[in-house]
Every structure is written in C-alpha cells, then in structure tokens.
Amino acid sequence: THFTCFHKLRRIVTANFQRSVCVERGWREYSECGVLRDSWNLWWRTTGLPLSHYKTLKTWQFTNHIPKGSSICRKDNLARYLRCMRKIYGNIYDFSPLGYNLPLEYTKLVAEFSRHSKNGGESVWICKPVGQSQGRGIFLFKDLGDLCYDSNAIVQRYIQNPLLIGGYKFDLRLYVCIPSYHPLTVYLYREGLARFSTDKFSMADLTNPFCHLTNSSLNKWGPGYNEKKERVGAGCKWSLKQLRRYFHQAKISDWLLWQRISALVVLTVVSQLSGIPNTANCFEFYGFDVLIDSSLRPWLLEVNLSPALGNDCDIDAIVKKPMLHDMFDLLGLPMCNTGLSLFTIWSNSTSENNSNDISSSENEDEENEPQKLRLFSGRKEAIHSSAISVVAAASRWKRRHQQKNHTTNVSATRSRKKSVCLQSTSLPSTTVPNPNGRKPRTRSTGTKTPIKSSSNSPNIAQNSYSTSSLAFSEDEESGQRCINAQMLQDSWTHYNPLLIDRSKNQVRGFHGQNKYPPPMLWGNGRDWRSPTAGEGNWVRLYPLGPTTQYHPAQESQELPSTTQADREVKNVVSAVHKYSKAAREIFKRNPTFSDELLNSEMKQTLGLTSDVWLPTK
Ligand code: ADP
C-alpha cells in the first residue's frame, strides 16, 4: 500500500484502521501512473522489505518495514536468536519458552524428552508450523510419538500455568514501534489488547483449540464467543486498561509485571540488531504476543510483522485507531509530506501569534473551533476548504484524544504540548508560510508551491544533513526544534514529489552521493539521535536516559561493523539489566507504593528522561 502527499492508497485488500487513519489524516491512495511514478510518501506493506526495494526509495518516501527487520518475526529465527543471546547474556533472556526448531533440532528435542522422562516428569509441548499464523496448524502433545509435522516447525514447552481470568486463558498483544535500529530507538504503546480463549482452560483436554489458543482470529468463531463468560463477558478481547482495572479489583500488584514486559521487548528487538543495515525513512511496527503465567511472569510467544489492524469489535476501534494516529505523529509522517503539515504549522503559528499562549491553544475545546476556522477564512483565498476540513478534523481528533488522556497521562500531554509549541514558536510571523496569501498548490495545479520565505533565521542550528535539505534542525542548547522558512520551502518542494520540477532533476533519492544517508536522519527532519520521550501514548523504552554518543563511522556504511554492533548490543542489554534490577529492588522495597510513586522512584534512581512505561489504568 502506498500513500502519497496528495494521498493515495494502493492495493487495499481489506478495510482496516491503517487505511481509515490515513484517510482521516488527509492521505490518499496512490495509483501508479507514468510521470507520477514516485509520487507517494508512504508504502505500507504487509510483508518485509527487501534491501533491493529499499535502495530504490527516494528521500521523501517512507515505508513501514526496515530491511531485515522481519527476522525476529519468524518463529524459528526468534527461537535461535533468543537462545544465542541467552548463551551470551545469561538468564536475563529467560523469557521465551524452551523451544526446538524442527527438523534441524529433532535430536535435541529427543534428548530433552528422555532427560525429562528419566526424572519422572511429564511435560506438554506445543508444535507450531513456522510458516503459519493465526493458530493454524498448531497442536499440543505429550508423547513424542504424537508429534507429526510436514513442514518446518517449532516445538515449544507449553506454559501449563497461564494466569486465568474467570477460568479463561488470555495473552497480550502489545504494539511496538522502532523508527531506528542505528541508533536503537524503541517505543511501546500504552494500550494494547488482552485476547481470551473462549472455552475454559483445562489440561485434561489438549485437543480443544478454544481453551488453549488465544488467537482472536480463531476464537471469534468459537462456540463461546457471544456467550457472557464468567468475568470476561461476551467477545474475546479486552483493552489493557480493562485488564489493569481487573488487576486492581483482584488486588493483583502488576507494576513489576509491566516493567518485565518492557524489558523483554527491548531485549528481543536488540537480538537482531547486528543484522540490520543502516537505513533511514523506514520504521518497524511490531505486534508482540506475551503470555502471563500464574506467578505474573511474562513469556514472549511471538513477534508479528504486520499486526492485525482490522476492526473486529469495539475494543479494536478504541485501541488501534488512536494508536495509529499517535504513531503517525511520533514518526512525523505528516510533517513536510502533506499539505496538512503546512496548514497545521500555520494554524499553530497563527494561534500563537494571536494568543501568545500555546498551551491554551493545545487545550482549546470544541467551542474554539470557529475561532480557528475564522483565522483561516481571514485568508480565504489562501486555503482550500477541503484542506481546512482536514486540518479541523485532525485538530479535533487530537484535542479529543488529549482531553481523554489528560487525567491519566499528564506527561504524554506535556510532550505533545511541547511538540506543538516548538513548531509554532519557531515560526515568527514573518516566516509564516505563504505570507502573500497565495494558495499552496495542490496536485491539480502541478506546479511548485509559491511559499515565500524570509532569510534564514540566525538561531537555527546547523546540524541538519547537508545534502538532504532537512526541514527541521535541532537546537542542541535550547533543545528546541526550529523551523526555518527557507527550509520549509525546501521541504515543501523536495519532499512533495508532485511539486518537483523533474526537468531540473531535483529528485534526490538514496543514490550516488546519498547512497547511505545517515540512518538517524530522516527525509522529514526526524533526528533519531535525540528521539522524543513519547508521543501520545507511545512511550520511549530505549534509549532510557540521555542519548548516548553515536559513532559517526556508521553514517556512511551500509552495515555497521561487527564490533560496533556488538558494542551497541552489549550497551543495550546492560542498560536493560540495570533497569530490570532497579525495578525489582524498588518494587521489593515498596510493594504498597502507588504506580506514580514507583515510577518516580525509578526515574530518580536511573535518571530516566522518558516516562516509565505502564499501560493506562
Ligand atoms: P500464531 O502465529 O499461529 O498465532 P503463536 O505462537 O502466537 O502462533 O501461538 C498461538 C497461540 O497459542 C498463542 O496465542 C497462545 O495462546 C498459544 N501458545 C503458543 N505458544 C505457547 C506456549 N509455549 N505455551 C502456552 N501457550 C502457547
């Protein structure tokens, strides 16, 4: 699926939230045609991205997969990577059930079986075909004689003591976003899903998939799906918020569990870091499946490359839609790639000029909407009405979402305020785009945008990637993100392919001079050397504290050297080790503390610059 700045979407197979969110944000489906061949900004693929495809991307083009980023999403690779990491880093990697890749490791499995039976134990195993998903082809067995497989499969020790709610087994679907592997930058969303089986859990019957498998694609066809099940209710999904409410009612202290889960996510991601080339303009969006056992210990079951974004029930809409909106904000995808971005910047800037109070413009309620529109309509000739409605819709959504989060997520709101503030304060009135009141061209005009700009503002830091005309640069000292009108104009022309005059050969992709652009710098100006602490409900898990120095040698290489990568992996694991240890000790010392107190203790102890990740309660 491709999206363009004048947003078109290609190859829609099923209606899902990814499409509707793009449409809500003013994107349109792309249809390939002659001269406009490269006129798209986002390629949303359900499969991984081969390096050869990546190399053809242009500076303004983004994709939801990182080359080689899908390795951990194959069950056999994941088992191999985690086992290898366990050998090197020890029991910090004990979060994956013991598993064997078949047919390669059949003899090891046999040896484990005989060792176990000699000790008089009888264990249960689960066999999962490597190339399948959604619970297909999975079965449980006790005797080796019952194991039969006709394709590559993984056999894993079955977790026999899952945490049950009302007698039903469940697992978690967590959303993880990796905008950069070099340097490693990991975000985890505060919301997610708890997915229930629809028959009560019982080890007496190993053949009933509805009591052992929690895949919702399977359970929505189960006989118990519509039943009002004990504690769980009808359906088979809860949000994490519901789950946390249940934990609270059941007096289950879950703070440490979530800290273990966040550690598990970073440790899993880092296991494939050394195989990932330096890349810019692409991100990974994973779905992590985690099972919790009765001792509140999390187990990683699987990492999904293209987590389902379909709309099966109300909970899906509550969780997935805001998550995608927040992810677009986090990645800065609308910025410089859409007409929306310019209008949004303008809108913020104009409000700021009028009120001098960014935070009030952030929190303004629905009644203030006409005010904002009036500001636009004062420049009626400059703004297309459909653009206004897109801006208005996006602003409305943002405000609604912020209001909802305000009470539960003060810090997230703060970070959002910051980003809006930074956009608007950095645009003095003289540099508001389009001071002549002319309309930024749309696709139908097909010519360059007539944005005028004043000369460069002197306070703009010059650390942008010189050959890619970034729209933003980071002012290291003040920590402010500044927008310069000239840069804005550049970005508008360079990153909106439909506005590029091809006869002047202004298209600049990742070839020739730009063959391997610094991976931390994106074509839309995002600089992942100093990643934001969070956006909406996305919370940065890594880096934990102030960003570490990045090795400049990596900037020009396709693959980081083995020693560089090993050093990076070691740093990450040791940071997570420190984090997990602190979490354990703090929780042990203060088991009755509230989430807020535990979080602030963690932040103080570790000097964290981002929030401690916890699902919303
Ligand atoms: P798929 O890709 O087919 O969804 P998963 O690895 O996610 O495969 O497994 C499907 C379901 O089987 C999980 O949602 C979980 O309920 C159950 N399951 C998988 N592995 C284990 C395990 N080792 N122990 C207990 N339950 C498991």
Could you tell me if the CB of 301 is within 6 A of ligand 1? yes
Give the pLDDT band of residue 581 (cuts 50, 70, 90).
very high
Report which protein residue has its CA nearest ligand 1's atom 7.
302
Task: Identify the weakest region by mean pLDDT among 132-141, 392-401, 437-446, 545-554.
Answer: 437-446
Mean pLDDT of 590-601: 96
Which tens digit of pLDDT belongs to each residue from 474-521?
A: 233 333 333 333 443 344 334 444 443 333 333 333 333 345 556 678
Task: Identify the weakest region by mean pLDDT among 27-31, 112-116, 256-260, 388-392.
Answer: 388-392
- The string over 472-482, giving b where at least 16 C-beta atoms fall within 10 Å of a residue's C-beta and e elsewhere, is bbbbeeeebbb
Give the pLDDT band of residue 32 (cuts 50, 70, 90).
low
Report which protein residue has its CA nearest ligand 1's atom 12.
213
Give the pLDDT band of residue 455 (cuts 50, 70, 90).
very low
Which tens digit of pLDDT belongs to each residue from 263-274?
A: 999 999 999 999
Q: What is the average pLDDT score of the chain?
A: 74
CA distances from 471 to 55, 341, 485, 488, 496 (A): 22, 12, 9, 5, 12
The identity of residue 281, as a single letter, is: N
Report which protein residue has its CA nearest ligand 1's atom 11.
213
**pLDDT surpassing 50 at residue 337:** no
pLDDT at position 365, please?
31
Cα of 213 to ligand 1 centre, how many Å?
A: 6
Cα of 197 to ligand 1 centre, how many Å?
A: 11
Give the pLDDT band of residue 558 (cuts 50, 70, 90).
low
Mean pLDDT of 204-214: 96
Could you tell me if the CB of 304 is within 6 A of ligand 1? no
C-alpha 314/C-alpha 334 separation (Å) is 27
**pLDDT surpassing 80 at residue 552:** no
C-alpha 194/C-alpha 204 separation (Å) is 24
pLDDT at position 132, please?
86
DSSP lists the bridge partners of residue 298 as 292
Which tens digit of pLDDT belongs to each residue from 92-134?
A: 999 999 999 999 999 999 999 888 877 777 789 999 999 888 9
Could you tell me if the CB of 172 is within 6 A of ligand 1? no
> Model pTM?
0.74
Q: How many other β-carbons are positioned within 10 Å of the β-carbon of residue 293?
A: 13
Strands across the sheet with 42-43, in order? 28-29, 2-4, 42-43, 62-63
Give the pLDDT band of residue 401 (cuts 50, 70, 90).
low
In total, the chain counts a number of residues equal to: 617
Cα of 309 to ligand 1 centre, how many Å?
A: 19
Mean pLDDT of 539-568: 71
Q: Are 258 and 615 in contact (CB under 8 A)?
A: yes
Q: What percent of the chain has pLDDT over 70?
A: 64
Encoded tokens for 399: 């405000």
C-alpha 498/C-alpha 35 separation (Å) is 9
DSSP character string of 590-601:
-TT--HHHHHHH
Give the pLDDT band of residue 399 (cuts 50, 70, 90).
low
C-alpha 528/C-alpha 520 separation (Å) is 5
Which tens digit of pLDDT belongs to each residue from 169-182?
A: 999 999 999 999 99
Q: Which of 126, 142, 288, 303 to mutate to test the pocket of ligand 1 (most atoms within 8 A of CB)?
A: 126
C-alpha 38/C-alpha 32 separation (Å) is 8
Encoded tokens for 402: 């912020």
Which tens digit of pLDDT belongs to each residue from 228-256?
A: 999 999 999 999 999 999 999 999 999 99
pLDDT at position 397, please?
54
Mean pLDDT of 422-438: 30
Could you tell me if the CB of 171 is within 6 A of ligand 1? yes
**pLDDT surpassing 60 at residue 537:** yes
DSSP lists the bridge partners of residue 474 as 481
C-alpha 476/C-alpha 530 separation (Å) is 10
Task: Identify the weakest region by mean pLDDT among 37-46, 278-287, 385-394, 563-572.
Answer: 385-394
DSSP lists the bridge partners of residue 275 as none
Q: Which uninterrupted H or E stretch holds 86? A: helix 75-89
Could you tell me if the CB of 302 is within 6 A of ligand 1? yes
Atom of ligand 1 nearest to the CA of 162: 25
pLDDT at position 330, please?
96
CA distances from 436 to 353, 376, 389, 451, 483 (A): 17, 14, 22, 8, 19
Could you tell me if the CB of 76 is within 6 A of ligand 1? no
Encoded tokens for 142: 């006790």
Q: Nearest CA to 27 among 324, 314, 305, 230?
A: 324
Mean pLDDT of 342-352: 40
Q: Nearest CA to 177 among 517, 453, 537?
A: 537
pLDDT at position 119, please?
76
Q: Which uninterrupted H or E stretch holds 156? A: strand 153-157
Q: Are 480 and 27 in contact (CB under 8 A)?
A: no
Q: Are 487 and 423 in contact (CB under 8 A)?
A: no
Cα of 548 to ligand 1 centre, how many Å?
A: 37
Omega before 433 within 30 of 0, i.e. cis: no
Q: Are 54 and 323 in contact (CB under 8 A)?
A: no
The three-class DSSP label of residue 131 is: coil
Cα of 301 to ligand 1 centre, how many Å?
A: 6
Report which protein residue has its CA nearest ligand 1's atom 4.
134
Encoded tokens for 545: 């504290």
Report which protein residue has its CA nearest ligand 1's atom 9.
135
The three-class DSSP label of residue 507 is: coil
Q: Nearest CA to 523 among 63, 60, 178, 40?
A: 60
pLDDT at position 118, please?
78
Q: What percent of the chain has pLDDT over 90?
A: 49
Q: How many other β-carbons are positioned within 10 Å of the β-carbon of residue 374?
A: 9
Atom of ligand 1 nearest to the CA of 289: 7
CA distances from 27 to 43, 425, 469 (A): 12, 27, 23
Could you tell me if the CB of 310 is within 6 A of ligand 1? no
pLDDT at position 256, please?
98
Which tens digit of pLDDT belongs to each residue from 283-320?
A: 999 999 999 999 999 999 999 999 999 998 999 999 99
C-alpha 194/C-alpha 236 separation (Å) is 8
Q: Which of 213, 288, 292 to mutate to test the pocket of ligand 1 (most atoms within 8 A of CB)?
A: 213
Report which protein residue has its CA nearest ligand 1's atom 18.
213
